[in-house]
Amino acid sequence: MNTFNALLKIEHLSITEIESLIEQALKFKKNKNIPKLKKDIFIANLFFENSTRTHKSFEIAQKKLGFNVINFESESSSIKKGETLYDTVLTLNCLNVDCFVIRHSDKEYYNELINSKNFTSKLINAGDGVGEHPTQSLLDLMTIYENFKTFKNLKIAICGDLKHSRVAHSNMKILNKLGAKIYFSGPKEWFEESYLEYGEYKNIDDLIHEVDVLMLLRVQNERHIDRLNNNINYLSEYGLNRDRYNSLKENAIILHPCPVNRNVEIESSLVESEKSKIFTQMNNGLYMRMAILYYMYKDDFNDIN
Ligand code: CP
């Protein structure tokens, strides 16, 4: 696999590249041959939306691989004086930051940067509003592959707040391309016609007994303009309760990108149930982010083979 300069959308990666990233992440998970950088490389993590998993797993991955990590606090930066994201990033670029990991509420916030002749660093999208979340998608793929050793013909239900979920937007595209059969479920208000390109909509009770992967989505309250009808009990209408859990196939797995709204998307007692891979996803996120950084800077690492 060749090195790459940006990871903005999951579809920018070929199937072969995705397979290489999963293979490398699984090797890192076995703790084999952690490479170290041969020179100083600075990475800045800019999170303009809250994050625990993505931010901290990137930071730990960077430290394990020997990067110099710059964490950026927007509250104490010149953003508070009105400086734009674009000018902030170009400023850090001038200070020899080699790579940026950025999360921002604007969809495709990166367009102005990648079209600028003054932006010469590498860039990883850690979530662009309702757009995409490619590194979450890769760790989800790793978790699915780890369990089933294939994507072909797996039945995968993506359930919940489809419209506002960047995780869903990345995953529906790539899982369809990888040969999985995609189903969508959840409130009809959050389903868009354009998703039919990737799969079909079904009620969760018509799906639950046949899926291999139940991918629950966080209800993104912070992105809602119109709240769902307050009288709706989300868990009993659309979520994973104990009855539905008991209908799952023996080998089915449950995914959720987190943070979980307990007793909304999933009954609290099921978060750590046998079929739940929610904490495995978080752990895999560390190794997948190591694999992404390793491939972005492959020529700058000592040889691990
Ligand atoms: N899955 C995810 O993006 O979690 P954080 O918002 O905590 O990074």
Which CATH number does the domain housing residue 198 bear? 3.40.50.1370
Q: Are residues 147 and 269 in the same domain?
A: yes
- For atom 3 of ligand 1, the residue with the nearest CA is 54
Q: Which atom of ligand 1 is nearest to the CA of 57?
A: 8
- In a structure prediction context, what are the per-residue pLDDT tens digits for the chain, which is 305 residues long? 777 899 999 999 999 999 999 999 999 999 877 999 999 999 999 999 999 999 999 999 999 999 999 999 888 899 999 999 999 999 999 999 999 999 999 999 999 999 999 999 999 999 999 999 999 999 999 999 999 999 999 999 999 999 999 999 999 999 999 999 999 999 999 999 999 999 999 999 999 999 999 999 999 888 887 666 666 799 999 999 999 999 999 999 999 999 999 999 999 999 999 999 999 999 999 999 999 999 999 999 987 65
262 among annotated binding-site residues? no
Distance 46 CA to ligand 1 centre (A): 14
Supply the residue whose CA is at minimum distance from atom 4 of ligand 1. Answer: 53
Residue 103 placed within a domain:
yes
The ligand 1 atom nearest the CA atom of 127: 3
As a whole number of Å, the CA-based R_g of the chain is 20
Residues 148, 267, single domain; the answer is yes
Atom of ligand 1 nearest to the CA of 55: 8
The count of domains in the chain is 2
Query: Do 186 and 101 lie in a common domain?
Result: no
Sequence-ordered list of residues with C-beta below 8 angstroms from that of 259, at least 6 positions apart, any chain: 52, 218
The CA-based dihedral angle spanning residues 126, 218, 276, 47, taken in that order and rounded to the nearest 10 degrees: 20
Non-local (6+) Cβ contacts of 268 within 8 A are 262
Range of the structural domain that residue 188 is part of: 134-279
Task: Tell me which DSSP letter residue 222 carries.
Answer: G
* Dist. CA 64 → ligand 1 center (Å): 20
> 146 and 57 in one domain?
no
For residue 155, being part of any structural domain is answered with: yes
Does residue 1 fall inside a structural domain? no
Examine residue 82 and state whether it is found in any structural domain, yes or no: yes
> How remote is the CA of residue 170 from the centroid of ligand 1, in Å?
14
- Both tokens of 281, joined, read 């996803």
Nearest ligand 1 atom to the CA of 126 is 3
Considering the domain architecture, whether residues 50 and 122 belong to the same structural domain is answered as yes
* 164 and 218 share one domain: yes
Helix (H, G, I), strand (E, B) or coil at 284: helix
Establish whether 133 is an annotated binding residue. yes
CA distances from 160 to 16, 73, 186, 230 (A): 30, 32, 4, 16
Residue 136 near ligand 1, beta carbon < 6 Å: yes
Are 256 and 279 in contact by the 8 Å Cβ rule? The answer is no
Q: Which of 45, 49, 54 to mutate to test the pocket of ligand 1 (most atoms within 8 A of CB)?
A: 54
User: How far apart are alpha carbons 212 and 253 in whole angstroms?
Assistant: 6
Same domain, 102 and 161: no
Query: Residue 223 and residue 225: Cα distance in Å, rounded?
Result: 7
In angstroms, what is the span from residue 165 Cα to ligand 1's centroid? 11
And the tokens for 182?
């995609």
81 annotated binding-site participant = yes
Q: Are residues 104 and 180 in the same domain?
A: no
Query: What's the rounded Cα separation, in Å, for the pair 286 and 276?
Result: 18
Q: Is residue 163 part of a domain?
A: yes
